[in-house]
Amino acid sequence: MVIRRRNHTHHRPRAVLVHEFRPRDAATLASWVGSAQEAFWLAPRSRPPLTADVIASWGQPGGDRLTLRDPVNRALLAYGEVNPLSLARGSYWLGHLLVDPQCRGRGLGRELTRALLQRAFEHHGARRVTLVVFRDNVAAIACYANAGMNADGYETHHFPAYNRRERLLRMAISVDEWRLAR
């Protein structure tokens, strides 16, 4: 799959490639997590530090782990997952979305979110896709909204790995909303 994105330097469309996750990329992904706060936002159920082995263990049966890659040199640009939430209801959730720190602010998070939504709706036949995001992660909230997701309430979660309880914003999009937004 190829997704067109804008190259902010030259204002020309530039393609990114969507690939399946390769376990050998886990070390690169771990190197992108630059702070304890980023680790908490990314994977609050994973005990720190986020190592390659921890990242390699993510994902669920029946889900997909996708990466975005540069079309020229195949460099890893972003990673995320789409996982089943309730197959009976056709619900899926997105998780562990991460963009190379050198590439942040260029729309790759939005492109990754769109690729994950497309995979959920077209490949898995999802009827609804959700995610939860920390309320102070303003950049992520804007990214998901720009990809077509909408605020859908709040959820409180306990994260034993950090001994914290947090109220998270739930964002969602239905298959009908996704079709209209395309």
Structural domain tally of the chain? 1
pLDDT in tens, 93-145: 999 999 999 999 999 999 999 999 999 999 999 999 999 999 999 999 999 99
- Specify the residue for token string 């029946």: 62
Domain that holds residue 155: 2-181
Residue 47: DSSP 8-state = P
DSSP 3-state assignment of 109?
Answer: helix
DSSP single-letter state for residue 53: H
Q: Which CATH number characterizes residue 81's domain?
A: 3.40.630.30
Instruction: Tell how far CA 19 is from the center of its chain.
Output: 14
Please give the angle made by the CA atoms of 19, 44 and 80, to the nearest 5 degrees: 10
Per-residue model confidence (pLDDT) at position 14: 64
CB environment 116-139: b (16+ within 10 A), e (fewer): bbbbbbeebebebbbbbbbeebee
DSSP state letter for 177: H
Percent of the chain with pLDDT over 70: 92
CB 82 within 8 A of CB 92: yes
